[in-house]
Amino acid sequence: MSQTELPEDDYIIGASEREIARLGQQHAIWRERALAAWRRAGLKPGMIVLDIGCGPGHASFDLAQLVGPQGEVIAVDQSELFLRAVEAGAKARGLANIRTVKADLADLDLPAGSVDFIWSRWVLSFLPAPADLLGRLSDVLRPGGVFVAHEYGHYETFGFHPADPVQDRFIQAVQASWRAFGGEPNIAKQLPALCAKAGWATEYLTPHVFTTRPGEMVWEWPVGWLKSDGIERLVELGFLGADDAARFHAVISERVADPLSILTTPLVMEVIARRPAAAG
């Protein structure tokens, strides 16, 4: 497989049962930050929420509980595997207010003014034309509706201390993989301008970055990805050499075993923007 070819419903990261479990742990670690963002943005019972790039639905389940039976969550993803996980998870939780939509975001077609709230987490950075998507979402979002995003803003903060040169090559490979498929790893820096182009006013901006040590909960967010298929996925797609992959695995094992090591996570920006209310 070449660097720029993926199956239609696949991701750079990959969609698998193992990835579903990893994303569940990731959401658990980030859940407090997501809930706080939704509160800041004014999420309320009865709202219609669009969860773009919902994955296996861990955020969708929380959103569905918060908007209640009078509200609805429209969970959109291109992966059939992930959407089956959303449907199974909703059934297991007794949530009847989640509707799944299988679609590439470039082809998403929803009625104008049909949603109150849009949630995006680690989605826009993978898209070749995020401005086009936000423009179309502006039509879908009702006047006065809100857009909330957690997206990477400075991926270069990701790294271990003590440092090793291989981690810089790994970060470069991650960013190259994004850009080869048309994405931008630090998309959040562009979001205020992209939101303005869509006709939205940015109301709130804040960074989220963690510094963590072995054995701590947050440590497992990036390290869990690295220990799963993250490094091998970059090798498979041709962005990282096998020797660098082996060395980086060794570095991870060394840092995990060292109680004095530190990991700084990629910086994530929270962006809250609103479509202006209708005049009069």
pLDDT tens-place string over residues 121-160: 999 999 999 999 999 999 999 999 999 999 999 999 999 9
Q: Give the homologous superfamily in CATH for domain 17-274.
A: Vaccinia Virus protein VP39 (3.40.50.150)
**3-state SS assignment for residue 149:** strand
Beta-strand pair 115-121/201-208: unpaired
Alpha helices by DSSP H, listed for the chain, are: 17-41, 58-67, 80-93, 130-140, 165-180, 191-197, 220-225, 231-236, 242-257
What mean pLDDT do residues 177-184 have?
92
d(CA 190, CA 194): 6
Backbone phi, then psi, for 260, in 5-degree steps? Answer: -95, -5
What mean pLDDT do residues 44-72 have?
97
What mean pLDDT do residues 167-179 have?
94
Q: Check if the beta carbon of residue 213 is closer than 8 Å to that of residue 253.
A: no
Percent of the chain scoring above 90 in pLDDT: 81
d(CA 230, CA 224): 9
Residue 209 pLDDT > 90, yes or no?
yes
Confidence band of 115 (pLDDT split at 50, 70, 90): very high
Confidence band of 175 (pLDDT split at 50, 70, 90): very high
Beta-strand pair 262-264/159-161: antiparallel
Taking only the tens place, the pLDDT of each residue in 72-100 is 999 999 999 999 999 999 999 999 999 99
- Please provide the average confidence, as pLDDT, over all residues in the chain: 91
What mean pLDDT do residues 6-20 have?
55
Q: Would you mind telling me the total number of residues written for the chain in this entry?
A: 280
Q: Check if the beta carbon of residue 57 is closer than 8 Å to that of residue 90.
A: yes
Taking only the tens place, the pLDDT of each residue in 213-261 is 999 999 988 888 887 778 998 999 999 999 999 999 999 999 999 999 9
